[in-house]
Each structure stands twice: as structure tokens, then as C-alpha cells.
Amino acid sequence: MTTNMACPSSDERVTLFALLLDTNARLSRSFALRLEGSCDMPLAWFEVLLQLRREPEGRLKMSQIAEAIVHSTGGTTRLIDRLEEAGLVERQLCPSDRRAIHVAITARGNLKLDDALQVHVNYLEEHVSSRLDCDERKSLTVLLTKLNASR
């Protein structure tokens, strides 16, 4: 592994990281606009509802949501407040830990997420799937999974 001490900005690792950030920012911004325009749903709401849907019981502790969507606990609390006001989630007491609160997706939240997922799938086809062949998508999935793995 060699580094270019004269000009670190030309280091391939710096370039790769910049590409990852730029790609994420561009896709996130573009999808957020599409989602907001089509479903009147902020991207952060979509992220929370999707995390809850992925859980077998449809619920997570507040701290798990904050970790999954990379928000502060205070920011997550305000986010959940807004989702609850919209009737998309509900807070529930945790049966195994009376100090903890679960957040669960509601029937209305599931319906709203279904609409948003249709927009998401169409967006992904247009901006990701159509630009990469099957092998490239599989390779990208493997590589991103590897980068996201906990150490």
C-alpha cells in the first residue's frame, strides 16, 4: 500500500471515498425529491418505516432506530413524534424492559410504505438497475456489504 504524500487528494482511497459520498448524496437527494413529490413522504420517514417493516415483529427500540438510520437519539425522538402524529407508527411498552419503548409500524404506516416502495422500486430501476448489469449489481452488493460489515 503506497500513499502519495505529495498530494493526498489524488490518493485512490480519497477518490474512492469521494465517489461513495457523491453517489450517496446525489441518489439520496434525487430520491428524496421523487418520494416527497409522489408520496408526500420525507426520506427520513421512509427510512424509519422500512427499518420497522424489515423486523419480524414490525417494531424496534428507539435506540435501534437511531442506530439504523444514523440519527442522534434526540433527532430520532422528534422524528418518531412526527411519524406518530401522522398515524404511521405507535409507541409501545417493551414487554421485557419496562424502561424501554418500542416503536411499531401501524396499518396506515404499512399502506403508506407500500406506496413509497413502489416509487422506490421505479426510482431504482431508472437510476441504478438500468445502469448496471446483473453481475455488476451483484458485485456492488458484495462490496458494499463488506464495507458495511462491523469489525
Element (H, E) at 101: strand 101-105
Is pLDDT larger for residue 150 or for residue 23? 23
Q: Which single residue is written with the C-alpha cell 437511531? A: 66
Asked whether the beta carbons of 71 and 52 are under 8 A apart, the reply is no
Q: Which residue from 67, 70, 65 is spatially nearest to 55, judged by alpha carbons?
A: 65
H/E stretch holding 17 reads helix 12-39
CA distances from 140 to 12, 17, 134, 137 (A): 18, 15, 10, 5
Burial of 79 (0-12, 13-18, 19+ CB in 10 A): buried
Report, as an integer, the average pLDDT of 23-42: 96
Residue 126 in grid coordinates: 431508472
- Judged against a pLDDT cut of 80, whether residue 73 lies above it is answered with no
Selected residue with higher pLDDT from 5 and 12? 12
Domains and CATH numbers, the chain: 15-145 (1.10.10.10)
The answer to whether residue 6 scores a pLDDT higher than 70 is no
* Higher local confidence (pLDDT), 149 or 86: 86
The reported pLDDT for the residue numbered 99 is: 81
Q: Which residue has the higher pLDDT, 100 or 46?
A: 46
